[in-house]
Amino acid sequence: MASRIYHDRPNCRACCADKQGVQPTLLLLTLVASLGLSLAIARIFLECVFHLMAHRGLPFVFYWRRVAFATVLFWMWYLTPAIAESHAATRVMRLLLP
């Protein structure tokens, strides 16, 4: 019964998407959103650089230890599978750990 409800449509008009209109629109929206985000990030970065040049300090409190910890944590998460698959890394680990 459910298959008859969803699949018995004349000429397949209700189930076919308008790909000629939808895909370019989605592509344009994605392009505009990414452009806006990149401009916002660039503006914030440049404001911080200019503030550093003028006042020799950032306009906000920057926690270096937290940033370093998050960076190390990300790279550990990102590189762990590659290191685990590497045969050279496993040989070095066997040499270091008896």
Each residue's pLDDT tens digit, 16-42: 656 677 788 888 899 999 999 999 999
By the 8 A CB rule, do 48 and 58 touch?
A: yes
Work out whether the CA dihedral 72, 76, 89, 86 comes out positive or negative. Answer: negative
* Predicted local distance difference test score (pLDDT) of residue 35: 92
How long is the chain? 98
Find the mean pLDDT for residues 86-93: 75
| Contact in structure between 89 and 83 (CB atoms under 8 Å) | yes
| Burial of 48 (C-beta count, 10 Å sphere; 0-12/13-18/19+) | middle
34 vs 93, residue with greater confidence: 34
